[in-house]
Amino acid sequence: MPTKPQTPTYIGIAFYTAEGFAIQSAVVLSTSARFNTNVSCGTVIETVNGWVVSWKECNNFLATTIEPYLALVGITAVAKVHQTTNCILQSISSLVWNAQDARDCRDSLKHPYSSDYVRRVLLHLSNKEIISLPFYVTKYLDEHITDCLIKLRKHRDESEFSFCPVIPFMEVGEFAFGRPKF
C-alpha cells in the first residue's frame, strides 16, 4: 500500500517593525509557500517573568501573528522540507538555549533577542540536517539575514501592491510578492 506523501513545511524568517523600534524577527513555519495558511511563528518576547521564547499559531496571514501593533516588512523563505511542522517544532524545542542567556551575550546590544533566537534556530536546524545551509551562509549568517532585510525593505518601498514581499534566502535578486521561488 503506497504511503501518503507528507505535506511539506516552508521555513522562513518574518521581519516586523514599529516606528522608533528595532526590527524584530521571527521563525515562521507554514504549509504554504506564501506563508499565508497554517503558520506557526516563534520569537523571543519580554514578559513579567523576563525574556522567553514564544510560539503562536494562526490560520490567517502573518501580518497579525506576533503583535497587532507591529507591521510586517516581509518574509525570507529559507527552505522547503518534507517534514511536518510538528516534527520541526519538536526539533526546535530540543535547542538548548535560554532566552535569558541572550542578555549576557556581548552581541545582545547589537541585535535584538529575537534576532539571536532566529540565528540559533537556523543553525540548529542546519546542524540537525533538517535544512541545508552552505558554509558561507552559516559563517556569515548575520550579514546574510541583514542583506535579506535590506532587499525586503527595498521591494516593499518600491511596491504599489499590498502584498507581502517574500524573497528566497539564498538566491540573489529573486523576489516575489506573496510567493517565493523554491
Rounded CA-CA distance 134/55 in Å is 27
- Residue 16 inside a domain? The answer is yes
pTM of the shown model: 0.82
In this prediction, residues 7-29 reach a mean pLDDT of 87
- Residue 164 inside a domain? The answer is yes
Rounded CA-CA distance 42/28 in Å is 6
- Residue 175 inside a domain? The answer is no
Res 169: pLDDT: 87
- Residue 128 inside a domain? The answer is yes
- Residue 180 inside a domain? The answer is no
Rounded CA-CA distance 142/146 in Å is 6
Summarised one tens digit per residue, pLDDT across range 88-128 is: 999 999 987 777 666 555 554 445 678 888 999 999 999 99
Summarised one tens digit per residue, pLDDT across range 33-68 is: 888 888 888 888 878 887 888 888 875 555 555 566
